[in-house]
Amino acid sequence: MRFNLILFFTLSYILSSCEPNNKNMRVSLDSYKIEEGFELEVIAAEPLLEAPVAIDFDAKGRIWVAQMPGYMNDIQGSGEDEPTGSILILEDLDDDGLVDHSKVFIDSLVMPRALAHVYGGLLYAEPPYLWFVDIENDQPVNKVLVDSVYTVEGNPEHQPNGLELNIDNWIYNAKSNFRYRRIAGVWRKEPTTFRGQWGITHDNFGRLYYNDNSRILLGDYVLPNTTIGNKYFAPKSTVDKLLTTDQRVYPVHAASVNRGYAKGVLNADSILVNATAACSPLVYRGGAFTESYDQNVFICIPEGNLVKRVLLTFTGDSVIAKQAWQNKEFLTSTDEGFRPVSLKNGPEGSMYIIDMHRGIIGHHAYMSPYLREKVKADKLDTLVNFGRILKVNHRDAVADVIPDFDALDAAELVSLLSNKSGWVRDRAQHYLILKELTQATDAIKNVALNSKNKFSQVHALYVLEGWGVLSFDFLVEVMNTDNIEAASHALILSKRFVSEENIDKAVSVFKSILKKNELGLDVYLGSSLGSWLALSKVKVTPIMMEILKRRKLNSTITEAVISGLTGVDTSISSNKAIMDTLKHTEFVNKLVRSLSDKTNEKMNSIYTRKFINEDNRTSGAKMFYQICASCHGANGKGIDGLAPLLMGSEHVKNTERLALIILHGLEGPVHVNGEEYNINLAMPGLIRNETITDKDIADIISYVTNAFSDVPKTLRKERINELRSVKSSTGMEFKEEELKALDK
């Protein structure tokens, strides 16, 4: 009997210790308020995950998450370079809707940034690299280096991320001007428009959206790469557009904000007025919310502990955004740990919120003295080792069964191209290409021409493109349909079929499109004409002129046409009849400017930039910790007997004086805020260190004035070079009196 009791308690202990951690997790949502009609639930939380920053779903609908626990563990950002990051697989083994199991797919990563399930494997970013691995039994195999300079190492706030697979079969990034694609097993990388900062998303048509800290929504008016065909023309009116001037946010409590001391940042109740850390917009395409939510954009505002809703209006040549409400948000919380940093459409139509759940989300290189004090006072630096994934459902929605894409045949995947969910349509398109199910070509062509879902026709077009079986004749058929969206994509795709053989067919269909007088079609027709002009100016010029004359004041049309004129731009500009007819128009002005840039070999920067340079404050922070912190302290408060404090010092506020001190050194006594520091040691200057450049010193100044004063400042490296020749009376370290005299 005694043995049986011991066995019972032993087994009970073993079983209880093996119980999935998530079942023991208790996360209260009492401080969260979501829009009426919606439900919010926690589907995964610590200890199953920590500091999640991005997720994606595999073929079975499981969640894969990139974790970045090395980010801002304390005010100094200690441990950033440690391999503490990982990619996890989260599973719901008992099918109750909650994650109850996690396993490591890849560990020992340094600050992993993004991930995407593509080509049957996993694409992921670990600065400075972009990697791809195949997956066998949930293990990584056949690791391939896709890009060795995907990003520079440095501040994670300013590194490429996103890995958004768009309808055109290309993978796009935020904070980057490159896109990626794998064709016949070979990875390709090519220039594209530079977009945003953190997070990127696309609508049903294939336009891209992004943002930066202080602007809640940016985007392109046109499909990717529509207006960058001319390397000597940099479009201004069609890409990287501010879609709304309303940057207001409506937090429900006084959260800690980096520059809350500055005029206008907070209102009278100390509540944030405008966005300061907006990130990760998401076009909702799940098909499970009510119709009024279709293609709305949701935006993370982690500094205000909220998620915002924005409405889009499509005009054909532009996109206009408007906040859904004033004085109200879609989701708010008084939990200052709630840090929504990414959003994702889910396979069953839900929206997923990735909550990093961390006290400090701003990088130490940018933290103001004001926020440092707030963080300490509120003990936000102790809020680490957390992380959550939340799911948003509409109460009236019926969740779809998540298809296992690995198990679907060609006919099943073709049928999913007409699914109400954009996520499902995207994935069905990708798997049809990946599996090379070309036996479904006729069925796909039927969808492209006849589907009642206008966006299914677009997906079908790019399945054919991915298979390499498109023909010009078929694209002409699509152009002749009533589907403006599909016809626009067909015009874009037709550029690769420019030939003498096709010129007459092209002119005929272009004339038919002109008769429709549709603004959106004119944009893509205009961008397609340049290569055909090279074959026959006589046949194609009248079409170009008709578009330009009837859209004379339209900047989008102008840029689309000029972008396509590579190779014929000089002959167009030398045609007196054309230039006279269009004189005083934006077309003539922009064409002349692009030809001037061509003469001067001044390319659009996306064709000359190889990678994104490290932010100057991040570079400055690194050098400060290497050179200065040992005496002045990592917190800028000085160290007794070694160096005075920098925090709030008048010597920091004056950038030229600060440059002279860094260059030539300083001998005491020194006064800071009225207090004398009579330290026996003189601070040596860096001028004799030949490895320290003017840019290095400029970066240090940028960081120090940001971290230890209320007014961030910069100093040009050219001015720093001039200050190298400004010497003290002894030619050695400056004395305080000499520096003050120079100020006058």
Query: Between β-strands 114-118 and 101-109, what pairing exists: parallel, antiparallel or unpaired?
Result: unpaired
pLDDT of residue 1: 41
Q: What residue type is assigned to position 510 of the chain?
A: F
Distances (CA, A) of 579 to 253, 573, 584: 59, 7, 9
Helix-then-strand count for the chain, H and E: 23, 31
Question: In this predicted model, what pLDDT tens digit does every residue of 352-389 receive, in sequence order?
Answer: 999 999 999 988 777 777 888 888 898 999 999 999 99
Range scoring the smallest mean pLDDT among 170-184, 186-200, 518-532, 621-635: 621-635
pLDDT of residue 71: 92
**Residue 538: exposure state from Cβ atoms within 10 A (0-12, 13-18, ≥19):** exposed
* Cβ atoms 199, 211 nearer than 8 A: yes
pLDDT at 6 over 50: no
Range scoring the smallest mean pLDDT among 215-229, 408-422, 592-606: 592-606
* Cβ atoms 644, 638 nearer than 8 A: yes
Q: Give the C-alpha separation, 83 to 95, whole Å.
A: 33
Quote the mean pLDDT of the chain.
90
* Cβ atoms 213, 275 nearer than 8 A: yes
Residues 6+ apart with CB under 8 A from 90: 44, 48, 49, 62, 63, 64, 65, 99, 101, 102, 389
pLDDT of residue 18: 37
Confidence of residue 22 (pLDDT cuts 50, 70, 90): low
Residues 6+ apart with CB under 8 A from 550: 517, 522
* Tally of CA atoms within 13 A in the half-sphere of 133 that contains its CB: 16
Token pair belonging to 361: 């989300």
Question: In this predicted model, what pLDDT tens digit does every residue of 606-662 receive, in sequence order?
Answer: 998 776 666 677 777 777 777 786 678 767 777 766 678 887 888 888 888 888 888
Place of tokens 């398109």: 429
Q: Give the C-alpha separation, 187 to 180, whole Å.
A: 7
pLDDT at 301 over 80: yes
User: Sheet of 139-147: strands edge to edge?
Assistant: 114-118, 121-126, 129-136, 139-147
CATH fold of 10-394 reads Neuraminidase (2.120.10)
pLDDT, mean of residues 125-131: 94
Distances (CA, A) of 739 to 549, 658, 664, 731, 734: 64, 9, 11, 13, 7
Query: Between β-strands 161-165 and 139-147, what pairing exists: parallel, antiparallel or unpaired?
Result: unpaired
pLDDT, mean of residues 476-485: 96
pLDDT of residue 13: 35
Q: Give the C-alpha separation, 262 to 275, whole Å.
A: 14
pLDDT of residue 12: 39
Neighbours of 159 (CB within 10 A): 27
- What region, left, alpha or beta, does residue 379 occupy, with left being phi > 0 and alpha being psi -120 to 50 degrees? left
pLDDT at 16 over 70: no
pLDDT at 456 over 50: yes
Q: Give the C-alpha separation, 264 to 272, whole Å.
A: 9
The superfamily (CATH) of domain 616-743 is: Cytochrome c-like domain (1.10.760.10)
pLDDT of residue 705: 85
pLDDT at 10 over 50: no
pLDDT at 9 over 50: no
pLDDT, mean of residues 66-76: 92
pLDDT of residue 644: 80
- Put simply, whether the predicted model's pTM sits higher than 0.95 gets the answer no
Token pair belonging to 345: 């459409």
Greatest pairwise CA separation for the chain in angstroms: 108
Residue in 513, 433, 503 with CA at minimum distance from that of residue 478: 513
pLDDT, mean of residues 569-597: 93
**Residue 129: exposure state from Cβ atoms within 10 A (0-12, 13-18, ≥19):** middle
Phi, psi dihedral angles at 185 (to 5 degrees): 80, 0
Q: Give the C-alpha separation, 340 to 351, whole Å.
A: 12
pLDDT at 85 over 90: yes
pLDDT of residue 11: 37
pLDDT of residue 355: 98
pLDDT of residue 725: 87
Range scoring the smallest mean pLDDT among 167-171, 207-211, 494-498, 714-718: 714-718
pLDDT of residue 153: 62
pLDDT of residue 720: 86
Question: In this predicted model, what pLDDT tens digit does every residue of 37-60 receive, in sequence order?
Answer: 999 999 999 999 999 999 999 999
Cα dihedral sign for 295, 225, 172, 458?
A: positive
The domain ranges of the chain are: 10-394, 470-606, 616-743
Confidence of residue 14 (pLDDT cuts 50, 70, 90): very low
